[in-house]
Amino acid sequence: MKILVAIYSPFASWCIPEAQVEWLRGEFPRHTFQRADTDRETLERIVDVDAVFGATVRPDQLAAARQLRWIHSPAAGIGNMLFPEMITSPVLMSNSRGNSAATIAEHAVGVTIALLRDFPLAFSRQLERVWAQDEFNAGARIRMLRDSRVLVVGFGSIGREVGRAMSALGAQVVGIRRSQPTLPQVTTFEHLHEELPLADVVIISAPQTKETTHMIADAEFAAMKPGAVIVNVSRGKLIDEAALVRALERGRLRGAALDVFEHEPLAADSPLWTRNDVLITPHVSGFQARHWPDAAALFAENLRRFESGRPLLNPVDKAAGY
């Protein structure tokens, strides 16, 4: 088989290290691995490959691929590849959902606690060398996760891990998912507006599809409990950022922690940067020391399965969008 490894980005964090490509070559000496580091190289080299281990394949690249049978994404999100020609093509797709669930859950817990305990205020006052004890006590601002109801919107591999972590710290967790739930603490998206007014913390961990784009907008912010916290560790387009800014300006929310944004990198003139009730991280919730070795290992297992005709791990339903 001929395999194209096309995992590149303007940001080094999202580029697969050459050591992982060499590891794959060592694991599968019978196959040929080519690397592409630009869209142009992908277009040139995809022509005669059987499989792509890649973060994106564009319509022109798919059209150029004469014998492509399978794409495996190193990420969970594959919405950028689900254009009409890909959906109707016979190309199989799989992703890496679950690989980063634990680290994303830890991130979600960390930023939630940071907002509930006013850590952004502490960071600001530390820079000013101000002892701000009375500011923390004013209005009993510090809140505990243990006393909070946490709504996890999107209860897949990431959402379930977030729920387990939050529950371990004493929070009451309610999950929302698309398919019919089998657990009493999980409900469906039709009940989102019933759950939003009850939640102290809202975690967004759903996949991006046509149905979930801007699923949290003006109406949803209006439905949320006053003083609630919202955390997005999924995809930026699930939240209408302009609506979020309006909700924050009205004092509707206690704060927001955002790891993903509608357009990345976040524009320098975005009002989100300068708000003291917003905690921004640059799309890093899924990273940890073994990120790339784990991603390569999952691809390797699926390559063995693909070779032998066995079912792939993490198959993507192209019509459903995840």
The pLDDT score that the predictor gives to residue 139 is: 59
Residues of the chain with pLDDT under 70: 139-140
Q: Tell the CATH superfamily of the 101-280 domain.
A: NAD(P)-binding Rossmann-like Domain (3.40.50.720)
DSSP state of 30: T
The pLDDT score that the predictor gives to residue 150 is: 98
The pLDDT score that the predictor gives to residue 64 is: 98
Distance CA 1, CA 302 (A): 14
Distance CA 272, CA 256 (A): 9
Q: What angle do CA 93, 96, 99 make, to 5 degrees?
A: 165
Distance CA 53, CA 295 (A): 10
The residues that bridge with 70 in the sheet, in sequence order, are: 51, 92
The pLDDT score that the predictor gives to residue 180 is: 76
Query: Could you tell me the residue ranges of all domains in the chain?
Result: 2-97+289-308, 101-280
Q: Is it true that the peptide bond before 59 is cis, omega within 30 degrees of 0?
A: no
3-state DSSP helix/strand/coil percent for the chain, to nearest 5? 40, 15, 45
Q: Which residues are catalytic?
A: 235, 264, 283
The answer to whether domain 2-97+289-308 and domain 101-280 are alike in fold is yes
Could you give the count of Cα atoms lying within 13 Å of 194 in the half-sphere of its Cβ?
A: 9
pLDDT more than 90, % of the chain = 93
Q: Tell the CATH superfamily of the 2-97+289-308 domain.
A: NAD(P)-binding Rossmann-like Domain (3.40.50.720)
Query: In 10 A of CB 151, how many CB atoms?
Result: 26
User: What six digits make up the tokens of 201?
Assistant: 């913390």
CA distances (Å), origin 154, targets 74, 122, 208, 292: 20, 31, 10, 25
DSSP state of 315: B
> Chain centroid to CA 270: how far?
21
First to last CA, the chain: 26
Alpha helices per DSSP H over 68-199: 84-88, 101-116, 119-128, 133-137, 157-168, 192-195
User: What six digits make up the tokens of 143?
Assistant: 């809140």
The pLDDT score that the predictor gives to residue 5 is: 98
**What's the predicted TM-score (pTM) here?**
0.94
Distance CA 57, CA 43 (A): 9
Query: In 10 A of CB 259, how many CB atoms?
Result: 22
Distance CA 131, CA 319 (A): 55
Distance CA 64, CA 57 (A): 11
